[in-house]
Structure 1
Amino acid sequence: MTARSIAADVLAGAPARAPITTAIALAQANQLNAFMEVDESAADIQPAMGPLAGVPIAIKDIIHHAGHTTTCGSKFYRYAATDSATVIKRLEAAGAVIIGRTGLHEFAFGFSSENPWHGAILNPWNRSTSPGGSSGGSAAAVAAGIVPVALGTDTGGSIRVPAGLCGIYGLKSTHGRVPITGVFPLIESLDTVGGFATTIGDLATTYRVLAGYDNADPWSVPDSVAVPRPISRLGGLRVGIPQPWVDSAPMEADVRRAFDHAVAALEGIGASVTEIHNPFFSMPGMIGPTLAAEVAALHGDWFNDPSKEYGADVAERIAAALETPLNDIVDANRWRSGLTNTFLETFDHVDVLITPTVPARVKQIGHDTMIIDGQKHFYRKVLSWFSALVNHAGLPALAAPLVGPGDPPPSLQIIGPPWSEDRLLEIGQRLEDHNIVGFRAP
């Protein structure tokens, strides 16, 4: 069932308990290692009568929820929350019922969700493969039909990458649009909170509950900011393909074919598609040094404490951050400003940009490389290829599964200017209506 159908039934007088108990049972029985905690007491909650009335929702175990312990997928971090994150308060006020906390890559600092302390999370399409990360548990829970909606966070692709690898929808919001109050940080200047769903309608409803100004969040932007108008139809939509970003990617042939087919489908229903060339549309840019200062400030003391143990891959990244020269950080921030300006100038000429969400879909658990056209590529480079630049420019982006072959199917990323989430969701709905994107169960 979808979130909107559950809410409609509950608002019409149906008991809220049934979908909640079903989700709890599925979460307890799941063999994907998707959950860190399942809350049986959620079945006794009387939900508020709002747009998510009675909808069972799972949240990433990096988001504080009063009465529950946040672990961040860590060996040592434990925080017994006495207050809930703003996004949790908004979900509960809208009638959602939180049934559990989902697993993640340690401290949300990676793309595989292979957690050294809590075990690897498994992809429902193939349990020998990764669901992506860092919000792998939330994505796996939605793709497997345990819950219709789950929350994740996205700092460099941690919603969109799992959405792409699990064949579901995911929305990364404009930085500052959804509050991060009560969310354990990775890199606050990049961190965002967003949802996973199997329909655009459910994703849109969830986003509209979450979004809005929060004066407790220093990154939050007032609702009075100018918002681009939604798109009512695809005819006349101006679509850009950023180059050399797309053509230089280490991409599976099936992903490229699906992307080209999506481009042709867009043109077939009246959109104009043009390539946009700019050297800033290149990976990796200076992504590494831009992260260093915030990573070092957050983890430096713990990292140097022998009693605080990190997994090998996260420890390697923290060590690199601590060793980054200040000049590199200054240069990287200058690069980030140039990247942001390039995106903003590009949106003077196109309404949206499109790329694949991920250039390859199969990351075997226990392997650090992905095989593409017979060549080995480091998995983090591959999975972050189309996502990380978007975070560094603070932009919103929608990941949507393409209709067609593939287990999981390839995924389309639609990137918009700041504050254009409603436009992206409207475009996604039109694409869903035209059977260009859509969820198919594993």
Structure 2
Amino acid sequence: MARIAGRFRRVEPRASARSYLLGLLSGVERKNCWQMAEQAGHTRPGSLQRLLRYACWDADAVRDDLRSYAAENLAAPDGVLIVDETGFLKKGRSSAGVQRQYTGTAGRIENSQVGVFLALATSRGRALIDRRLYLPEQSWADDPERRHAAGIPDEVRFQTKPFLAGEMIAAALDAGITAPWVTGDEAYGQDPRLRAVLEARGTGYVLAVACSTRVRINHGRTAVRADTVAGRLPATAWHRQSAGIGAKGPRYYDWAWIHIGIGANRHLLIRRNLSTGELAFYLCWSPATVSLAELVRVAGVRWSVEECFQAAKSQVGLDHYQVRHWTSWHRHITLAMLALAFLTAVAADAAPQRPAGPHYFDHSLDPVTLTVPEIRRLFGAVFNPPAVSTARLLHWSIWRRHHQATARRSHYRRRTPDESAG
């Protein structure tokens, strides 16, 4: 809070921000304004709702503080920036950017919002450091009425997800983030403009692409599909290496790399699953010569962002919000990211110094290193308020039911035909 306190001009929103962060770090079941206000001992959720909607503070400035905080606490020479998106399932059509669209959260097309995120992963930990709410083109970007109702600024226009990713990467590098690599899935690897932006900045990348991607081998004139290239490789081209340590130990795959295009440091990287034989493909570029092991490491780091999403949603309520406004979405998401970065920084400081290397195992009988969920559990136990009185519980029960009755009457009034009509 000392880090971001100067972003709030008045003491009231500053105190509300502290309560909000403590609520996100608490064990409350649903981290929305109602339950977090009750957790904080407030009599109404109004102060937390004002923090998200009307209070005067800049979520982007707090995001900058969060990015610096994460960089300082996770600093390591092996940093990788990861771009990815996650969905937030919603009902109705009023939440900014919501529409029926594919989201990996559900694994199908659902009514949802989609956020594009940037994560920083190093050997010390990983954290989300930037975010953009994706604004669909036809249903939102070109609809002035919906834009106004959801509070979308006039300067915000439709941008593709890879474009949003490029903006966040550029902002992170300009802010001094030390990360020689960028990685992402096919949605970003297939975009040639994003790859060109990274090369222009001298930032290496290992980006997943589809099997149908065409590449030129040995300066050939004809481009060949990536899966065709894989099918022509001899057995000696494959090397078994670990893509990093997973929950059950090293994640071994067979890997092959082939020089493509022009320049000495441009490769097609191919991963083969040991049990199924399934192939995955990556386009790689680096400003200097690197080893196969380094490309494999970066490719394996990409899964860190999925772990960030899982921790952010399960531990600090990234997807628990009940807001529709553009500003409110960015404010809640930023504070949730800050709460996760705090837990990650504490975990990094608590981790013992151990030998580096992808094959290191800890065979001791000591407890495992403190994890983000365990730190949040301990933190909540220390900072939870004293036992709540029966009167306080009844007060909140009555308040919720009054509020629900008001909302129900409003819904009924809208849906009941006007008896005087006709």
Shared fold, TM over 0.5: no
Q: Which has the higher helix share?
A: 2
Shorter-chain TM band: under 0.3
TM-score when scaled to structure 1? Answer: 0.27
TM-score when scaled to structure 2? Answer: 0.28
